Amino acid sequence: MTNRIPAELEGIRVEVPSNIPVMLIRETGGERRVIPIYIGESEASAISVALSGVVPDRPLTHDLLLNIVSDLGGEVSTVEITEVREHTYFANLHISVKGSEQVISLRPSDAIALAVRADVPIFVDSALLDKVGKASVGVEETDEEEILDDFREFINSINPEDFQG
């Protein structure tokens, strides 16, 4: 059993000048270190849609997965970001099914998209946090509006076609 540290999604940012989305996972206690994880645009969109509270007319992929888990008598209990190997992060989805726990490996972006939708706790392996966690950097008030503007621009650039398979 790993030592799991409670964490939260701090947000999705866009790396400048590359314009690559970065998912920021912050430990909720202790040093409040942050793990930045680069993700794709469609993954960032899926997380942003869930954060915005927009309910699509038809279930998106992560909504569908939660529906399947529920219809089969299970429920997502937690997600955990577990390790990084050769610049690739790994995560686990913990599902409770009839009193037993099933653990499924998945990408951290999928884990967070599911955690946001299911409103379940997020954890980070303590060894991973020690290895790649970065000291918390405060956002100055003057930067806050710029960050919000960037996020609004990102949300406004999302199209329904981004979610079609």
Q: What is the pLDDT of residue 64?
A: 93
Domains of the chain: 4-163 (3.10.690.10)
Q: What is the pLDDT of residue 142?
A: 45
Q: What is the CA radius of gyration of the chain?
A: 16
Going by pLDDT thresholds of 50, 70 and 90, the confidence category of residue 139 is very low
Statement: residue 143 has pLDDT above 70: no
Burial category of 92 from C-beta neighbours within 10 Å (exposed 0-12, middle 13-18, buried 19 and up): buried
More confident residue, 164 or 110: 110
Mean pLDDT for all residues in the chain: 88
Tokens, residue 130: 């020690």
Q: Tens digits of per-residue pLDDT, 46-64? A: 999 889 888 888 988 999 9
Alpha helices, DSSP H, located in the chain: 41-52, 61-71, 108-118, 126-132, 141-156
